[in-house]
Amino acid sequence: MDKDKIDQIISKHEGKAKNLIHALMEIQHANHWLPKDVLEKVSEKLGVPLNRVMQIATFYKTFSLVPQGRHEVHVCMGTACHVRGAQQIIEKVEQLIGIRTGETNPDGKFSLERGSCLGCCSLGPEIVIDGRHHSRMTPDKVEEVLKSYD
């Protein structure tokens, strides 16, 4: 965790309670998770009660209270992708990176999540890694895609 970077983000928003979500988003992006001590500091510096900070941090799926991988892998499991073989895609991802859905691998490189619909139904099955869409996936293509995130 880069404490200086986190301190810079918090200082930029200091005293501005209206910037709570933006501050948390910036910290999540930089740090890949929101540790309790950081949430306490955000609460203090922005003048927002800690229970409100915790409500926001636990309500939005974009935030994580546990360490996430440097690369967030989301496999669409929506109806269109499911019909086109998304289950085989997620099984291949799990096999290749050695974790199950909802986990982060031990070296902190990847976190894996299922998505209910990622919005590209005609292009499925789909994987989104760090916000980048990889469409028309097959189990054979998964390894090549994951290797590009080394």
Confidence grade of residue 1 (pLDDT, cut at 50, 70, 90)? low
Confidence grade of residue 61 (pLDDT, cut at 50, 70, 90)? confident
Query: Based on C-alpha coordinates, what's the Rg of the chain?
Result: 17
Domain stops at, among 38, 59, 80: 59
Q: Is residue 139 part of a domain?
A: yes
Average pLDDT value over all residues in the chain: 92
pLDDT at 109: 94
pTM: 0.73
Among the listed residues 118, 116, 110, 113, the one whose alpha carbon sits nearest the alpha carbon of residue 143: 110
**Taking a C-beta distance cutoff of 8 angstroms, is the pair 136, 76 a contact?**
no
**What percent of the residues of the chain are helix, what percent strand, and what percent coil, each to the nearest 5?**
50, 15, 35
What DSSP character marks residue 132? E
pLDDT at 20: 95
Confidence grade of residue 62 (pLDDT, cut at 50, 70, 90)? confident
Q: Is residue 65 part of a domain?
A: no
Tell me how far apart the terminal alpha carbons of the chain are, to the nearest angstrom.
20
Whole domain around residue 129: which residue ranges? 71-147
